[in-house]
A and B are shown apart, each in its own frame.
Chain A
Amino acid sequence: MKQNLIGALCALAVMGGAFAQAPKKPSAKPVAKAAAAPAAEVKDAATLEFEKFRAEMEDSNPAELFEAKGQEQWNSRRGPKNVSLAESCALGQGVGKVEGAYVKMPRYFADADAVMDAERRIVWCMVEKQGFKFDDIASKPFANETFTPDITNLVTYVAGHSRNMKIAVPLNDPKVRDAYEVGKEIAAYRAGPYDFSCNTCHGADGKRIRMQNLPNLSTPKGAMSGVQGWPGYRMTGGVMLTHQWRMGDCFRQQRFPQPKYASDAVAYLLTYMIGNANGQVYKGPGIKR
């Protein structure tokens, strides 16, 4: 476990070097003032209005379009090995079984000897079972305004089959517990040009950025609001994005190097976050600002 931690943090540090060679915008201002709100539970008018707006959006969510596409792709024979995921991919509930799988990940998979979140697991299946090349998937892992990767559709499909189910990350599994502990360390790890950690914004109650309230990921409710709605249809740009993407974006906003796609670091961070949300009800693919 100690080795895992060191490994994961080293991975970040190494990418820090790579990042330093290609800074994005050196003049970028810090994103978060992270000012304390007067009281965590008091909601202002704007927040209430946003919630109403979200509820209306959730009623008819374009995420359904991606879920439908993912279903078709899950059931189709694809890849160099011409195998479907439905007949080859086990997400912890048996081969091809998607019902309730999303809320029970991350989990440890003996065949891969790794703790994997849903997206990482499906990528593993695409590589191992269908014969796709990992580097091809990892070269364009997330959607943009003109392109949605298959993996995003597939994750959305799988997540859709955990609607209204309770989050149940198997934290009693020692391997998962280890991953959780490393994830917790990653969340607290301060570095980068602003000396931020995940916890700078998401480690205490009552913080916000501009108009957005920031959840405290160390509490079950707070962690759930970081889990709820992913994968999500992002209104900005109208793109479908996954929880993996969201983790990477948090690192980007901290001006950190972004962790490698489908890596240990992301799986462990997700284990910490989703594990903290155990017992909360997941509502399925959501809609995001």
Chain B
Amino acid sequence: MNTTRRTVLKGATASGALAALIGAGALRPTHVLAAEWNKAAFEAKDTAGALKGIGAGTPVESKDLILKVPDIAENGAVVPVDVISNIPKTTSIAILVEKNPQPLCSEFDFANGAMAEVSARIKMGQTSLVKAVAKADGKFYVAQKEVKVTVGGCGG
């Protein structure tokens, strides 16, 4: 895909951590799967760190960003999450779980006709806020919702 777009996206996060990554050769100029996994963001232990890692800083709440999650999840091992961004020029969507040991679950970049929406299934260690963060035209937006995680009975 267009490597420039991703490079630009990463460029926006030009923090010390990123500079270190570039220095270590973790980010390469050509697109290679896995080589550019955003370690700093995914290994961040809190939401603020994860947001910083994806360059989102303090995103703005938006009603045009729709996050669909169950109110109560029957099993925290598999919680369905749907995110749809109606914000024009959305180029990426990230999903975070505030109280997970590593809050950042995933980040998707869209191009070449992809609509700004994704569905995924995530693990939740406990009842927590789930956040969707969209990047559109260089700005970051957020939608959030609490999901209660229950302990069930027997085998179903």
Classify A-B as touching or not with yes or no (CB < 8 A): yes
Task: Let me know if B78 and A57 touch, CB within 8 A.
Answer: yes
From known contacts A46-B72, A50-B72, infer whether A210 and B77 are also in contact, taking CB-CB under 8 Å.
no
- B residues in contact with A238, CB < 8 Å: 77-78
Q: Are A235 and B72 in contact (CB under 8 A)?
A: no
Given A212-B152, A212-B156, A250-B155, the answer on whether A53 and B74 have CB atoms closer than 8 Å is: yes
Docked complex: B105-156 residues within 8 A CB-CB of A: 150-156
Closest to A213 in B: B153
B75 nearest in chain A by CB position: A235
Output the nearest chain B residue to A55 by Cβ-Cβ distance: B80
User: In which size bucket is the chain B interface?
Assistant: 10 to 19
Hey, what's the 0/1 contact readout for B71-104 against A, CB within 8 Å counting as 1? 1111101101000000000000000000000000
Complex formed: what's the CA distance from A289 to B73 in Å? 10
Which single member of B77, B80, B153 contacts A56 (CB below 8 Å)?
B80
The answer to whether the Cβ of B59 comes within 8 Å of any Cβ in the partner chain is no
Judge whether A120 is part of the interface by a CB distance below 8 angstroms: no
Most A C-beta atoms less than 10 A away, residue of B71, B72, B155: B155
Q: Which residues of A contact B71 (CB under 8 A)?
A: 49
Cβ contact of B156, chosen from A32, A49, A237, A289, cutoff 8 A: A289
* Residue among A53, A210, A253 facing the most chain B CB atoms (10 A cut-off): A53
CB contact between A50 and one of B74, B78, B155 (< 8 Å): that residue: B74
Bound-state CA distance A235–B73 (Å) is 11
Contact of B74 among A211, A214, A237 (CB under 8 A): A211
Write the B38-77 contact mask toward A (1 if CB under 8 angstroms, else 0): 0000000000000000000000000000000011111101
Looking at the complex, which one of A52, A229, A235, A250 makes contact with B77 (CB distance below 8 Å)? Answer: A235
In the complex, which residue of chain B has the Cβ closest to the Cβ of A209? Answer: B153
**Cβ contact within 8 Å between A289 and B152:** yes
User: Nearest CB to that of B73 among chain A residues?
Assistant: A53
> A210 near B78 (CB under 8 angstroms)?
no
A window 89-134: CB within 8 A of B: none
- Enumerate chain B residues within 8 angstroms of A209, measured Cβ to Cβ: 153-154
**A52 lies within 8 A of B154 (CB):** no
B156 touches A232 (CB 8 A): yes
In the assembled complex, how far is the CB of residue A51 from the closest CB belonging to chain B, in whole angstroms?
Answer: 9
In the complex, residue of chain B having the shortest beta-carbon distance to the beta carbon of A245: B155
Docked pose: A52 CA to B156 CA in angstroms:
16
**Chain B residues positioned under 8 Å from A140 (CB to CB):** none
Q: Identify which of A50, A237, A250 gathers the most chain B CB atoms within 10 Å of its CB.
A: A50
A50 to B71, CA, bound (A): 9
List of B residues within 8 angstroms of A253 by Cβ? 154-155
Residues facing B in A199-257 (CB within 8 A) are 208-212, 214, 229, 232, 234-238, 246, 249-250, 253
Which chain B residue has the least Cβ–Cβ distance from A52?
A: B70
Known A-B contacts A49-B70, A229-B156, A234-B156; the reply to A289 vs B75 at CB < 8 A is yes
13 pairs, A vs B, C-beta closer than 8 Å: A31-B153, A32-B153, A46-B72, A46-B150, A49-B70, A49-B71, A56-B80, A57-B80, A208-B153, A211-B153, A235-B77, A236-B75, A288-B155
- What is A's interface to B at a CB cutoff of 8 Å? 31-32, 46, 49-50, 52-54, 56-57, 208-212, 214, 229, 232, 234-238, 246, 249-250, 253, 288-289
| Residues of B participating in the A interface, judged by any CB pair closer than 8 Å | 70-75, 77-78, 80, 150-156
